[in-house]
Structure 1
Amino acid sequence: MNIDDFIKRAKEKAEEYKYRASFFESSNPMNTACIKVAKDHEQLAEWLEKSKEYQQLEKQGKLIKIPLEAYCIVDFEVRKGFVLEETYHMSRKPLLVVRYDDNTLKSHSGYLGISVFLTESEAEAKLKELRGRENESSN
């Protein structure tokens, strides 16, 4: 199956569940459930269409990936950097490659919010939490 087949299938399922909902009165929980499933399939089709659009732009060389500014915890300090790429290891956890102002690169394993943050205040709060745990374990 290609992406067009998946988009078509999601749209067909949305219509199918709208039709099923029509068998029940609007106050019936089955009506509500069918309408929700229909909306979910419509949303899926929309996301797939957007993904297809991005794939086409990338093939045409018109999609530019801009580095994401991030704040990272490195050696118990917060450093500002730019996320250059996200890959996955065999463990299926994301591996974020970050470039810092001094042009050093570092890989951060884990999810956004573990060691990489979108705001400095979030990173500082996490660092404070980590330092609190470190102090507790040394007592």
Structure 2
Amino acid sequence: MALLRAACRVLCAAARPKLTVAKLPQSLMMASSDSMPYLPVDMVFRFFPRWTRDKVRFFYWYYLVSFLTGLGILMGYFHTPYVGDNYDHFAETPLYLWTKSSLAKTGQLEENLRVKVHHFYPQTE
């Protein structure tokens, strides 16, 4: 009986007319208003029809150029080598200062500095 009831529900649902309209996702609806493409493809299709005659080849090169441009920006501009590698000048946060002062009050800071291994690092003195 349960199998018959399930089959009837499926058949009734298939015969019922669909009254709801499929809605696009909100992110797709807002894509034109909150995103700024690097190269507007619709303008390329409109103004450079010879470039976009073969759509598959155009999008292959478009994705390749976009990826290499993004990688170049990341590694060439955003990634500045040898910045922040000097730990003598790091920003001491309030939590760091509070922890350091509480360790100094209990005497654990001196013990930690005493047992710290220094022979891995070059001596500056």
Q: What is the TM-score normalised by the length of structure 1? A: 0.23
Greater strand content: 1
Higher RCO (C-alpha 8 Å, min separation 6): 1
Q: TM-score, normalised by structure 2?
A: 0.26
Asked which structure has the greater CA Rg, the reply is: 2
Select the structure that is richer in helix. 2
